[in-house]
A and B are shown apart, each in its own frame.
Chain A
Amino acid sequence: MRQVSVKDITKKVRDLCISAACDLEPDVASAIRSALDKEESALGKEVLGQIVENFEIAGREHLPMCQDTGISVFFVEIGREVALDGSLEEAVNEGVRQGYKEGYLRKSVCHPLKRINTGDNTPAIIHTAIVEGGKVKIKIAPKGAGSENMSRLKMLKPAEGVEGIKAFVIETVKEAGGNPCPPIVLGVGIGGSFEKCAILAKKALLRPLGTQNPDNELNALEQELLGKINDLGIGPMGFGGRITALAVHVEASPCHIASLPVAVNIQCHADRHKEVEI
């Protein structure tokens, strides 16, 4: 067994919260830069230019690129040879608490009905998996509400098939318009169950931009959807333009013979994600 201290996890989570808010990952930065080259709308170019300038300032001056520093979502993989000396959940939440306070990040989590802020951005959303090996891998993907609020889930009839899926994805993007701060990235989860397709959609967002889906059929579906979405003309911030989405990522999983669940998770251009291995 390999001993891993939860104190170490807390420290790493604290740092991840701050760096994710301030430094845009290179895959996203380069996708936005190439969108700026391709955009034909003058206003669209203006918007993309401001977005590039913004993440450059944020990285340089160590400021949150967006004031909505999000609810903290984590995917944690724990090697089965790892022995933790305490609670993972508490360690992660303590890291969030420290990171949001010491990093001057906005605390954006509240009681769902009373709407009273929890004051420290906890509780975090933590998805865990036990994997082979002796390492702990922590991925963070803080999520703002502007894009999360425009995400949708639908239980389709199997007869609606892939055409039904495409129609639902496109309708979701159209309805979202400028609200989720386009250019967006789409995570689409197909199959599984009600909750599984939502997690698939969220996981799909973590695939680095510019990488291909290893499954040919899903890869073709991603390309087709991306083309159709960009034909909608919504453009950067919804002001009209060619680039509405930077990428579409699809993940699929077998489902019940009588169901076809589909989830569409919309991610804004402030596509913040970071990971660390212990």
Chain B
Amino acid sequence: MSEPVRISAPLTDAVVEKLKAGDKVLITGVMYTARDAAHKRLIELLNAGKELPLDLKGQIIYYVGPTPEKPGEVIGSAGPTTSGRMDAYTPRLIELGLKGMVGKGARSKEVRDSIIAHKAVYMAAVGGAAALIRRSIKKAEIIAYEDLGPEAIRRLEVVDFPAIVVNDVHGGDLFLQGVEKFRRVS
């Protein structure tokens, strides 16, 4: 396994352009959490011509709905959820400047195309590794939709958050390339 690439968030075009499908990355900086319900509300705001509760420029959204934190702790267990459920909403957010997404599983063609067109990156964290990933989250603060509980939008501060690049700006796709390498049947 090659050495991980350390990146800081929010992201810039220069950083995103260097990442390739299959790269192991460690993210340090700020990420925002959002799942289906929060995405739906963001898109409804946009449709109504209203302002979003966060500026998406350069940001990474982490698809996660953590377990409740015990008293005095930063966050509960916090592994990725299936990204495909956000596909319908994602291209709009990428157009607004969203640069990175972290989740698990494959993305739709629209999302992959949008990643290439607007220089973004889709990364996967290891699904189910929620107690391990939790360790890289140093601070968590709800910034919107508290009523959604685990689905509220949180601002996270992370140090060495582990992820793997799946879809890069150059059209690389880890799911296609990886499976191709190990498939034994046609």
B81, B106, B183: the one contacting A231 at CB < 8 Å is B183
Contacts of A40 in B (CB 8 A): 182
| Interface flag for A132 (CB, 8 Å) | no
Interface size on A, residues (CB 8 A): 51
Interface size on B, residues (CB 8 A): 47
Whether B64 contacts A67 by the Cβ 8 Å rule is yes
Known contacts: A43-B22, A146-B82, A239-B175. The answer to whether A178 contacts B106 by CB under 8 A is yes
Whether B67 contacts A106 by the Cβ 8 Å rule is yes
| Interface flag for B174 (CB, 8 Å) | yes
| Interface flag for A213 (CB, 8 Å) | no
User: What's the least CB distance linking A104 to chain B, in Å?
Assistant: 5
Q: How far, in whole Å, are A68 and B25 apart by their CA atoms in the complex? A: 24
Contacts of B177 in A (CB 8 A): 240
CB proximity to A under 8 Å, residues B116-171: 124, 126-135, 149-150, 162, 164
Total contacts A-B at CB 8 Å: 168
Whether B76 contacts A67 by the Cβ 8 Å rule is yes
B68, B135, B183: the one contacting A104 at CB < 8 Å is B68
| Interface flag for B181 (CB, 8 Å) | yes
Whether B129 contacts A54 by the Cβ 8 Å rule is yes
Whether A46 contacts B1 by the Cβ 8 Å rule is yes
Residue on A nearest B149 in the bound complex, by CB: A117
Whether A241 contacts B128 by the Cβ 8 Å rule is no
A41, A65, A117: the one contacting B178 at CB < 8 Å is A41
Which residues of A are at the interface with B, using a C-beta cutoff of 8 A? 40-43, 45-47, 50-51, 53-55, 57-58, 61, 63-69, 104-108, 115, 117, 145-146, 149, 177-179, 181, 228, 231-235, 237-242, 268-270
A51-B128, A67-B67 given. 14 additional CB < 8 A pairs? A54-B128, A58-B77, A64-B130, A65-B77, A66-B128, A67-B77, A68-B79, A108-B65, A179-B84, A232-B185, A233-B178, A234-B179, A238-B106, A238-B175
